[in-house]
Amino acid sequence: MRWLGLVLCAACLHAAAHEAKNDTNSDVTRARMYRNGAGVAVDKARAAQLFERAAQAGDADAAFTLANMLRDGEGVPRDAARARYWLQRAADGESPEALQQLGMEEADPVRAAQLFKEAAHALTHQRR
């Protein structure tokens, strides 16, 4: 009977992880809708909140978008430090766009080349 409890526990953990992933996807989808006015009124501030929630849950694409919104002051006050933080988090999550952006901003040509190489590598691992 003890093994049954372990199996049920593992199944619950798997379901919770799947539900969290779905919540993140839902946040990103809704954030894009609010940012672009797709089926809802444009609300950049709400979009930024949803992108941040998804980014905090580990979504690299959401972190990249949030970084750019913070950099540009889109729906949120401009905040270069927070923008850089989320850009780095996106790069840590292997966002090709974030790695490329970091490469373009990098003053050291050797480090920039490494970032571009990482971006190209990350592109080969993206889910389509």
* For residue 12, pLDDT beyond 50: no
Rounded Cα distance, 119 and 100, in Å? 6
Which is more confident, 14 or 39?
A: 39
- Let me know: does 106 contact 89? Beta carbons within 8 Å: no
Give me 47's structure tokens: 């979009």
Residues 45, 99, 97, 56, CA torsion sign = negative
Q: Which pTM value belongs to this model?
A: 0.78
The pLDDT mean for the chain works out to 85
Please give the single-letter amino acid code of residue 22: N
- Let me know: does 49 contact 83? Beta carbons within 8 Å: no
- Let me know: does 90 contact 67? Beta carbons within 8 Å: yes
Mean pLDDT of 4-33: 59
Query: What is the per-residue pLDDT for 127?
Result: 62
- For 50-108, how does the pLDDT look when each residue is reduced to its tens digit (9 = 90+)? 999 999 999 999 999 999 999 999 999 999 999 999 999 999 999 999 999 999 999 99
- For 32-61, how does the pLDDT look when each residue is reduced to its tens digit (9 = 90+)? 999 999 999 999 999 999 999 999 999 999
* For residue 2, pLDDT beyond 90: no
Q: At what angle do helices 44-56 and 60-72 cross, to 10 degrees?
A: 140
Structural domains for the chain: 2-93 (1.25.40.10)
